[in-house]
Structures are given as structure tokens and as C-alpha cells.
Amino acid sequence: MDKNRLEHLLSLSESSILDFKSEIDLDSKRGKAKFLVEVLELANSPEKPAYLILGIEDKTKKPVGISDEITEERLQKVIADNCRPPLKCVFENVAYMGKRIGILIVQGDRRPYFLKKDLGFQDENGKQQIYSDKMIFVKRGSTGDTATIDEITEMILDRQTNGFETNEELYEELNSLSSNLFHINNSIDRLNDKGKRERAIEYLFIGIVSGLGVGFLQALGLDWEIYISGIFVSTFWISVLASALKIVRFGWMRSVLISLIISVAFVTLSVLLDRSATQVLITLGFPSTLVLVWSGIKGMVGGITAAFLGRGEYEYD
């Protein structure tokens, strides 16, 4: 590929046959899995050739170049070892603005393309993820996704004209893909359920721990206004610390929102039920553990409230 052809591609936006990456990491499981998914998305595009351009920032189109470790031999081996059926690709280097730019040209014509085996890795939040060998990756515009039934059918019909010699081969492949699709749907359902449970548990954890912390302050005999007004601060910093330790997956914005919801629920219960009762417990010398338990219950109610209000954001990602 010459410089003029590269400049033409750089003038285009990302699409189902064009992707820009500033870098790829083939030394980590996560980086290798991400690279393979990007290749498979391009391979499953109905148009060919498709291009994965390396060493170019996708937003600015600024050339940053690639390292000498990114070679044709290495890329071809990663693709050959992990993709099925065999996927034809060509890798070229172009010197552009003093940088080495890599162009992976995907030319496969036997869609659909899959992974040969499941690929497990940890995401940016330290959570275990798996790309299944039953999944069919595609691109819709510049966005990656998994294929629909209609898209799979289109690929099979296209493949019939490019590789099947008999109807028996076609039927065998359709049966295989039907099984794959059933597996994918079940996997997505399980992952969605798992995501819902994990998020609800996260909210309960933050609520209970925050409630116990405020209950401890209350058991020490601090004024009502002090320990109640401290629930937001306690919840916020506990959620930030838990997120830093990867116990939960909260960002700053979610920490603020969850803190507000739990605080309102906690304070509401306190105002309605226990302002007088708690003081009586302390005055009469009841065990301070009762104060802690009650504060933990209030925190749990706050966590349940947060889980209910946030149920719409439970989509697994």
C-alpha cells in the first residue's frame, strides 16, 4: 500500500470495514482478545477488503506509529492460532509522517468467522470476562456487537456461494450455527442475571458498611445531627475506597449518586423511627451492639432502595 492510499483511508470515518487503533497489546490476554475480536468484526463484514490500521489515533487520526514488535509473522500467527475457518490477511508497513504505520488487510470470504477456543481475561476493573468460541462478532458502523439471527443467515447464504459444494455441507453448518446461537442466548441471559446480582450486592455492601460506621459514631454518644449528617460522607468515602480495592465497580459519579440515595433512605428511617428510641436505648444502658445492628439495617434498606432505583442500568457490559 502506498502513501496516497493510506491518506485516502485516513480521510474516511471508521466503519464496518475500517478501524483505527493507536496501539495493540499482544503480550496480555486482554490485549490479544481485544485484537482478535476487532479482526473478527472486520472479517465478518460483507464487504472486502477490510482494513485495521495500526499506529493511528482513532479520534484525531494523529500518526503515533507502532513498535518493532508488531510484525507480520506475529500477527499472522495470532490470527491463525485463534480464528476459524482459516482467515486470509495481509500485513503491510507504510512510512507516514516519520512514523511506521501498520495496515492489516482482511480478505476472508468464508463468513462467519469464530474464535477457535474461549478466551478468558480480566477487564479494566479486574473482573473476569470470557469471549466464547460460539460468539459471532460484527461491526455496525463503527460499533462492535454480536451478530443477530438475520446477520448469521446472510453470512451462511453468502458462504454457500463461496465455499459449500453440497447442500449437506450447508445443512451441517446451519445446524452448528443454530447450536451456537442457542448457546450465545443462554450465555447472555446468565451474564445479565449475574450482573444484576453483583450490582445489587454492591449496593447492599456499601449501605450496610456505611450504616455500621455511622452506628459506631452513634454508639459513642455523638449528637444525633452529627452522626446522621455524616452518612453521606461515610457512604461516599467507603464507596470510593471499595472501588479502589475493586470490591465494587463504582466511579466518582456513581459513588455520589449512591451516597445520596442511601443517605436519604437512612435519614428518612432515622427521622421516622429512631430519634427518640435510640437516645432511650443509650440512656437505659442497652448494649451498643443494638445501635450498630439497627444502623446496619437502615444501611441495608438504603442499599435496597439504591438497587431498586438503579435497576435500569443493570445491563451487562
DSSP string, 117-186: S-EEEE-TTS-EEEE-TT--EEEETTEEEEPPHHHHHHHHHHHHHHT--SHHHHHHHHHHHHHHHHHHHH
* 4 vs 185 pLDDT, higher one: 4
DSSP, collapsed to helix, strand or coil, labels residue 51 as strand
Is 60 exceeded by the pLDDT of residue 169? Answer: no
Average the pLDDT over 116-140 and give the result. Answer: 87
Tens digits of residue pLDDT in 44-96: 998 889 999 999 998 899 999 999 999 999 999 999 999 998 999 999 999 99
Q: Rounded CA gap, 105 and 117, in Å? A: 23
The SS3 of residue 91 is strand
Cell of 305: 432502595
pTM of the full predicted structure? 0.54
pLDDT in tens, 185-212: 555 555 455 556 677 788 888 888 888 8
More confident residue, 97 or 109: 97
Helices (DSSP H) in 245-313: which residue ranges?
Answer: 252-269, 275-284, 288-309
In the prediction, which pLDDT does 265 show? Answer: 83
What confidence score (pLDDT) does residue 83 get?
A: 94
- Mean pLDDT on 207-222: 77
* Cα–Cα nearest to 254, from 189, 203, 298, 219: 203
pLDDT, tens digit, for every residue of 98-110?
999 999 999 888 8
In the chain, where does the domain assigned CATH 3.30.950.30 lie?
3-146
Confidence at residue 191, expressed as pLDDT on a 0 to 100 scale:
47
Cβ-count burial of 106 within 10 angstroms (0-12 exposed, 13-18 middle, 19+ buried)?
Answer: buried
Q: Residue 4: pLDDT above 80?
A: yes
Q: CA-CA distances (angstroms) from residue 213 to 208, 209, 210, 230?
A: 9, 6, 5, 9
Q: Supply the pLDDT for residue 200.
A: 77
Most confident of 61-70, 167-176, 293-302: 61-70
Percentage of the chain with pLDDT > 90? 30
Q: What pLDDT shows up at residue 21?
A: 94
Q: What is the rounded (10 degree) CA torsion for 156, 157, 162, 166?
A: 90
Q: Which residue has the higher pLDDT, 309 or 143?
A: 143
The pLDDT tens digits of the residues spanning 237-257 come to 888 888 888 777 777 787 888
State the pLDDT at residue 315. Answer: 41
What average pLDDT does the chain have?
A: 80
Which grid coordinates are listed for 282?
443509650
pLDDT attached to residue 165:
47
Q: Which residue has the higher pLDDT, 301 or 97?
A: 97
The most confident of 20-29, 146-155, 158-167, 274-283, by mean pLDDT: 20-29
Q: Please report the pLDDT score of residue 235 as a whole number.
A: 82
Grid coordinates belonging to 230: 455524616
Fold of 3-146: 3.30.950
Does position 180 have pLDDT exceeding 80, yes or no? no
The one-character DSSP state at 63 is B
Query: In this predicted model, which residue has the larger pLDDT, 49 or 277?
Result: 49
